[in-house]
Amino acid sequence: MKGIILHGGHGTRLRPLTHTGPKQLIPIANKPISQYVLEDMVQAGVKDIAIVLGDLHPEKVKQHYGDGHHFNSKIRYIPQPQPKGIAHAINLCAKHVGDNPFVVYLGDNLLKGGIKDFVKSFEISNYDAMILLRKVENPSLFGVAKFDENGTLIGLVEKPKQPPSSYALTGIYFFRPVIFKMIERLKPSWRGELEITEAIQLLIDNRYNVGHRFVKHWWKDTGALEDILEANRLVLDELKPQIKGKIEVNNCIQGRVSVGENTIIKCGSIVRGPTIIGDNCIIEDDAYIGPYTSVGNNVTIKRGEIENSIILDNCFIDINERITDSLIGSHSTIVASQNGKPKGYRFTIGERSKITI
């Protein structure tokens, strides 16, 4: 089975972070979102993978993944210069797929438990396509499945005002090459895109065999800040504690905490889990790193309180205040001024920002 990871889109809901890189490279628990996707495919035995690149700093994606060797996979890159839709991106991969079955995985999606069992199920089935569905509270935000009275899948509706069910498409699709014939028949939607839901609907309408499976564990589409922070919490909930750095006093660490190499947690500071701190960091001067926080590499935090946040690499924070529910881009600096003492801050800060508060 071949694999396709979709790594395009402009990430407008995550600006300014996405002015300097694709949203799929934003880290969750110190690992890029799309790396979870790649590792999930590899663990399922899908190792020949095409990554479809958008026009937002594609060189950063290539730099991180290379030819796939370090991830036990073979990666090729296929450009999609304009965001013309998921079906258009898939169609660009026809040569990569050949006559093989394949799985398409949106690079900003996370799925607990992975796709291994679904890959096996599709390989032994006679399905022409198979979709993964998850029950959600707000189905009108997604593509939604429609069933008849017998529970048979009869259609898909994209972001309906009146959803026919509570089951959303998860952004993970299994296909055989017949899907390319359906894509060739598509016309752009009102968004100017070729919609994969319409291609699957054509399969259903033409009596091809379209199956579905229900996802039992959590699934996250990380398209907005709140989704990224929630995904960070979900992943950190399963964090295995590991201390590779130096902890000056044992009671500096409380709960499940992972500390990287050459990191120093100095006396007086407190790190409360679940929290992950990368390599070559310094936490000092009575700093408090609270639950559900991910701190990247080469970060210095001298004072203040940080909870439920993601701090990217090479940041410097020195304030005597509280930061919560924040996403702080790499190489950013937040320092205290001498004026005023507000009680808390919430930030979404792009790369190489500097803030004095």
Reply yes or no on whether the pLDDT at 145 is more than 60: yes
pLDDT score at 355: 62
pLDDT score at 250: 77
pLDDT score at 240: 92
- Burial-class residue 214 by CB neighbours within 10 Å (0-12, 13-18, 19+): exposed
Residue ranges matching CATH 3.90.550.10 in the chain: 2-236
Closest by CA position to 273, among listed 299, 237, 248: 237
CATH of 2-236, one of 3.30.70.360, 3.90.550.10, 3.40.50.720, 3.40.50.800: 3.90.550.10
Q: How far apart are CA 131 and CA 200, in angstroms?
A: 9
Cβ–Cβ < 8 Å for 289, 310: no
Q: What is the pTM of this model?
A: 0.89
Q: Which two tokens stand for residue 145?
A: 């499945």
Alpha helices in 71-224 (DSSP H): 86-91, 94-97, 116-123, 179-184, 196-205
pLDDT score at 56: 78
Element at 72 (helix H, strand E): none
Q: β-strands 354-356, 270-272: how paired? A: unpaired
Reply yes or no on whether the pLDDT at 125 is more than 60: yes
Q: β-strands 300-307, 288-289: how paired? A: parallel
CATH architecture of 242-356: 3 Solenoid (2.160)
Number of helices followed by number of strands (H, E) in the chain: 8, 30
pLDDT score at 335: 83
Percent of the chain, pLDDT > 90?
63
pLDDT score at 357: 58
Q: What would the mean pLDDT of 280-293 be, rounded to a whole number?
A: 93
Cβ–Cβ < 8 Å for 140, 161: yes
pLDDT of 287-340, one tens digit each?
999 899 999 999 999 988 999 999 999 999 988 888 899 988 888 888 876 555
